[in-house]
A and B are shown apart, each in its own frame.
Chain A
């Protein structure tokens, strides 16, 4: 248990060890690699949202001058079933068919063929020479329509999983899920007040500024090296190996710096194509998605249709709660309805509840994770309903949540009892926060909401090498999206007791570092940090042994304090303490280089709670919503580098506000995305936002040496409902659907 001792390095705000390269333009991102003899790859994408492929002929393209490779679905090994491994989500066959269509195209933009040529323009021209014959089918685009019994089928062999009786008829509902406890009807009987709400959210995108990009080169022995911008090069390597039926040893994945991912870069899109094109041409192949391709054909977040019903006593105690949560999966099953169903009531101590989740196929891109996948949509519904409940009971929204808040020992809605968690502390802190005391400005409204995510553990490896002068090199396998190299160096400095400036951190490729799961699931600082700490402890053990050898004493007579080996009290006091530098000076004679290592499957990831509130103003003549102020309170367990914890809270808040106010996929009747660009897919710009005030709460996670909880995903969960509740407070009208776009808000105001 991390006693609340004051730390020497942890909690400080040093400059990140990789910072200089990022502010000078030297840092290499996915598209920054140019190799001699390199070809440029381009993908031919389906012009139909739903069609059978009758024939694909790339021969004319291959015959064009400057074109050295051309592939289609036929060039891929037969896709076999089984879990894809890593976090790609879903079945190998599905991921393989999403990387390149085989018998059917299932969304507009679905990859059908690809070429590699000596220039991008030649490759573009070659795409036009590829002949494809389609048998166009009716697309299924609307979530509710897709769930209807007679809906056209996205996949004729999709039978709903987890039904009490095996399904006889194929359906677009790929899976259902139920969680229940107690007697809901009884609970509603006892309720003094009942509120209900129905909420719809369209498909949105993570919006990372760097398009997917990779370069692959395959040598004559069939060994491939792939540079790619990814959240997890190990996971992408195993996915590529499955899809191409290659041995993992023949695939070396090098993670470039990554220009944002938020869950969307945990899945393969271009990598297998680049490897095949390079194998066919025996030349390096670089593939970079255009922004339009990123919107049409990467992994957006699921659109949803949710219904919530809550019953409560006059004192606010919730006696019954039901949730009906339908999630778009896109072209292949795998919508995050499971996590969504497990999160919807998780922050609350409920006796009687029933949750139904639906994973529904539609002819849209296959969804991928987006920061606490499934939770923001569910939280928007629940926290909006809670806001209405607070109004019915004329209770302060924070007080209503305090009455029902989960705490240590609460039986979570998703099953187990909670260990130590910080929701109540966050609610109490928000209640007394100076911004909460400030009056709501004229014409504005205030919204409050709670966010929750489980946070993941999973596998990590780390090595800590001592250089000859006692400085420290960390090697670990997690791409650094949000400053994690700095956190690793801080945890190593704290454990070893040596200055942060003496520590360098390398994100090793798949040949240089041990296996590590993705940078995602808010796990990196928690799990990889734990491996770095254990590797440092391994180094300390070896240093103590070296000191014992140097002093001629037993190892247990040596202690480690403030970065030095010191004799334990009672042992010969004049022995001079030995620093890392001293020990390394003598290392050759006492046993050679010193290298600590650790690999683990991190246990005990601590749940992350947040409470957000914000004041938003509505122009009642145009329906436009402006954010005046925003405050995020979140439990980080222990903030290793507070600036980057604040950064996660601020970035998540603004992504959430963008999701709430302006972001949506607009499809036409044929399933073609109408706004595949940053002009009309409107993410917040600098002038849209106020400063985002943050307060970090620290309820230590007992399972981490320094009390760390993941912080990366919880920030996205609350803002959607904060915006919806603030607009309700400002206008007196509840707009249940997102985004709260000016036309929708104005129509609601005029309808009221």
Chain B
């Protein structure tokens, strides 16, 4: 089960839940699982950046997720 952590500004879509454990093979499955647990969350979470074991991804979808990966949802990053 991967450990998934939500930052403060996303707590509004997870009903205040900061951390969950989710089994998912990739980001697509993770988002579907989270949508089931937190209806309506997919739209916002899909637009967030997501860090999987330290690697930050802006538009993750098919990235693999390990059985004990550490997942952080983050603000989408821009540059200048």
Complex contact flag A–B (Cβ < 8 Å): yes
Partner-B contacts on A (CB < 8 A): 83, 87, 89, 161-162, 164, 175-180, 262-264, 266, 336, 338-339, 342, 368-373, 414-419, 453-458, 518, 520-523, 601, 603-605, 703, 713
| Complex partner residue of B80 from A338, A342, A713, CB under 8 angstroms | A713
Find out whether the CB atom of A87 lies under 8 angstroms from the CB atom of B78. Answer: yes
Extra A-B contacts (20), CB below 8 Å, given A87-B79, A178-B8: A162-B8, A177-B9, A177-B75, A178-B7, A264-B80, A266-B80, A336-B78, A339-B78, A342-B74, A369-B78, A370-B80, A416-B51, A416-B53, A416-B55, A456-B77, A456-B78, A518-B79, A520-B80, A522-B79, A703-B55
Does B70 contact A417, Cβ atoms closer than 8 Å?
Answer: yes
Contact A416 B47 (CB under 8 A): no
Chain B residues at the A interface, C-beta cutoff of 8 Å: 5, 7-9, 11-12, 47, 51-59, 63, 70, 72, 74-75, 77-80
Cα distance A369–B72 in the bound complex, in angstroms = 25
What residue of chain A has the Cβ atom nearest to residue B55's Cβ? Answer: A604
Q: Top 10 closest A-B pairs, CB basis?
A: A521-B79, A263-B80, A369-B80, A416-B51, A415-B72, A178-B8, A162-B9, A338-B75, A520-B79, A417-B54
Name the residue among B12, B63, B79, B80 with the largest chain A CB count within 10 angstroms. Answer: B80
Pairwise interchain contact B80-A603, C-beta atoms closer than 8 A: no
Residue contacts A-B, CB under 8 angstroms, 12 given:
A162-B9, A176-B9, A336-B78, A339-B78, A416-B56, A417-B54, A455-B79, A458-B58, A521-B77, A521-B79, A522-B79, A605-B56
Given A416-B70, A419-B54, check contact A179 B8 (CB 8 Å): yes
The distance from the CB of A236 to the nearest CB of chain B, in whole angstroms, is 15
Known: A342-B74, A417-B70. A373 touches B79 (CB 8 A): yes
User: Knowing A417-B53, A603-B57 touch, does A162 contact B12 (C-beta < 8 A)?
Assistant: yes
Q: In the complex, what distance in Å separates the CA atom of A368 from the CA atom of B80? A: 8
Instruction: Find the residue from B12, B47, B52 having the highest chain A CB count within 10 A.
Output: B12
Q: How far is the CB of B10 from chain A (nearest CB, A)?
A: 9
Nearest Cβ on chain B to A609's Cβ, whole angstroms: 15
User: B58, A457: Cβ atoms under 8 Å?
Assistant: yes
Task: Report A192 CB to chain B, min CB distance, Å.
Answer: 30
A369 touches B55 (CB 8 A): no
Q: How far is the CB of B50 from chain A (nearest CB, A)?
A: 9
Residues of A within 8 A of B56 (CB): 416, 454, 605
User: Hey, which chain A residues are within 8 Å of B47, CB to CB?
Assistant: 83
In the assembled complex, the Cα of A373 lies from the Cα of B80 at a distance in Å of: 6
B53 partner residues in chain A, CB cutoff 8 A: 416-417
Chain B residue nearest to A456 (CB atoms) is: B79
The CA of A523 and the CA of B57, in the complex, are separated in Å by 13
Q: Which residues of A contact B77 (CB under 8 A)?
A: 339, 454, 456, 521
Q: How far is the CB of B67 from chain A (nearest CB, A)?
A: 17
Most chain B CB within 10 A, of A336, A370, A605, is at: A605
List residues of chain B with CB within 8 A of the CB of A419: 54-55
A518 and B75 alpha carbons, distance in the complex (Å): 19
Q: How far is the CA of A339 from the CA of B63 in the complex (A)?
A: 24
Q: Which of A161, A414, A415, A713 contacts B79 (CB 8 A)?
A: A713
Chain B residues whose CB sits within 8 angstroms of the CB of A415 once the complex forms: 5, 7, 51, 72, 74
Q: Which residue of A lies closest to B57 (CB)?
A: A603
Instruction: Give chain B nearest CB distance to A456 CB in angstroms.
Output: 5
Question: Within the complex, what minimum Cβ distance (angstroms) separates B68 from chain A?
Answer: 13
Q: How far is B47's CA from A83's CA once the two chains are assembled, in angstroms? A: 10
Contact for A262 among B11, B57, B80, CB less than 8 A: B80
List of A residues within 8 angstroms of B54 by Cβ: 416-419
CB proximity of B18 to chain A, nearest CB, Å:
10
Q: Please, which residues of chain B bring their CB within 8 A of the CB of A175?
A: 9
Complex-state Cα separation, A418 to B74, whole angstroms = 14
The residue on A at minimum CB distance from B10 is A162
Chain A min CB distance to B24 (Å): 17
CA distance A162 to B59 in the complex (A): 22
Partner of B58, one of A371, A456, A522: A456
Chain A residues with CB below 8 A from B74, complex form: 342, 414-416
> Which chain B positions have C-beta within 8 A of A417?
53-54, 70
